[in-house]
Structure 1
Amino acid sequence: MASFLKPKSNSWKSKKEPELPLYYKDKLQPDANVIQNVLRTPRKKKMLIKLFVASMAIYLVLWFYSLLPEKNMTDAELWNNRKLKVKEVFLESWHDYSNHGWGKDVYKPRSQTGKNMGPSPLGWIIVDSLDTLMLMDCKDELDEAKSWVKYELSYDFDYQVNTFETTIRMLGGLLSAHYLSEDDLYLEKATGLAKSLLGAFESKTGIPYSSVNLKTGKGVRSHTDGGASSTAEAATLQLEFKYLAKLTGETMYWDAVERVMKVLDDNHPKGGLVPIFVNPATGHYQGNLIRLGSRGDSYYEYLLKQYLQTGESIYLEMYLETFDGIKKRSNLSRS
């Protein structure tokens, strides 16, 4: 097995749930008997067919005319035109949120109401959108969001958050914003958050607990699954913490997440395929359930991403081993 080594700075290749209900169940469903009675009447049946054909014809005409403005465009003009349409849709949603739910972590567009996930806002929507605002060049909206991050965003309160979600969305969001803007405000906020999150790694083995208290920095084991952590979640924290280590020069961020990967690899998973739960107390996988879906998926995905980020050959070896294991299992299942 290859060793886990810290690469030199020049080995870096580049600089680089809360539920949102859709209310499908709230929609009224037509009575089946009514539909059947309508279809039994020949005259009404013909009328329904005519209405359907007419509506399709109108749709096709409108669709055809919507394409006409793009007909004589160059490739560059066409691409720019479509980018602007995407931006318009994004801003429509953003302005609805900013007008009716500004600062809230969860927003319901139909009722135009919002709420926070804890006693104070955690910045779930605003921080998670910073890089999008930058990429789409939404200057006014970005100024407003940046002001909120500067004056309102704080993680200094007694509340438990999910280690994984807070890392990939909040820490990742702040680091992405810093990468694109080189504004130290986002790095300062990211560093403060990361220090609180480090408490999640203070288990006997270094396998992170599923949750952490932001004020005390104390990790909290899962209340379900026998206290086990999700394998995918434990192995999907590395990119953010390693990048933060590069930016700040603080090795504690690197060491915490690198240790996780060594503990996982020391289990010597057969064919590189891993169970979806790992116990923070023992460092061993818990149970035998293996899948490429939830709780397992990003473990495999981030092996390759870590290699591309840091150049550590161990992750390429692990990725290739899992790739071969998946292929062999797939061939067995077909035979």
Structure 2
Amino acid sequence: MATIKDVAKAAGVSVATVSRVVNKSPKASKSAIAAVNAAMKTLAYRPNANARALVNQSTNTIGVMVSDVSDPFFGALIKAVDNVARSHNKHLLIGNGYHDAKVEREAIELLINNRCDSLVIHSKGLSDQELIQFAKEVPGLVLINRHIPEIAERCIALDNQQGAYNATQHLLTKGHQHIGYINSYQDIDDAHHRQAGYLQALTEQDLSLNLDYIVAGQPTDEGGEVAMTELLARKLPITAVVCYNDYVAAGALAALEKQHIAVPNDISLMGFDNGLIAKYLHPKLTTMHYPIQTMAEQAAELSLALAKGNNSAIHGKVFEAILVERLSVAKRV
């Protein structure tokens, strides 16, 4: 494999000149550029990315950390960031955090050590203070789906409480008063805020808050099926259920079908996220649209602007989930 010294010898220039050409320095002459490029082509020389990063003090990458790349929700997030990255001639370096503080910390440090000066971070495990410290270290760090007041201008978040409130309110307007809630068992702000929104909507209608109507499980279709089965076993007069996300709703739907309970005629079902699965369930799922693509695009643009020192171009933002009516909710007669 050819080295930079081989290129310099073949081009008849110094190693420093080759380095200037590789890093597109304006100090390189036209004749040197032509000679070095010809030598690199002849020798099939590829500049070392890490070496170039040392000269430029950055890489041509945007770092992204999500919980789990296998989750379609995070796949949509990554795809949106990648679209922005490509429009700026950059590539992605991706890490998984799994909502675990230790793993998230290691993933972020790895991205920083790989000289990603733009970072889009989805963190649920790390404390506010630790993320604030990371933000001080990396000017181009932006948080997505997390709002920290001290660095609010670098947060692209969703109002999860308002979203769950609106979901529950929609069922209330349809005449439902005995409304169950299937939450995620995860100790993260999304789960806490969505349950708070559900309870807020009931409280405003002066409905009694019976915690037997709430069950928590894994935020997956399997978890939703187990949770719905548990909820039905409590023999409550439930006419509608709000679910933590669409996959939980899919599992809940499966549990109801197994017990020959019709949706929405017997029990109405409400999802959250408006993922791809929502419109392919039967019946099609009424849900709250989580604008993750738009949020991820804005987070990526903000990260790139901040990395360039442009602190006034874009600001943080809190988005709202929007009701998407389909066929899984019916009016209570």
Which band: TM-score by shorter chain?
under 0.3
TM-score (norm. length: structure 2): 0.24
Which structure is higher in helix share? Answer: 1
* TM-score normalised by length of structure 1: 0.24
**Structure with greater strand share of residues:** 2
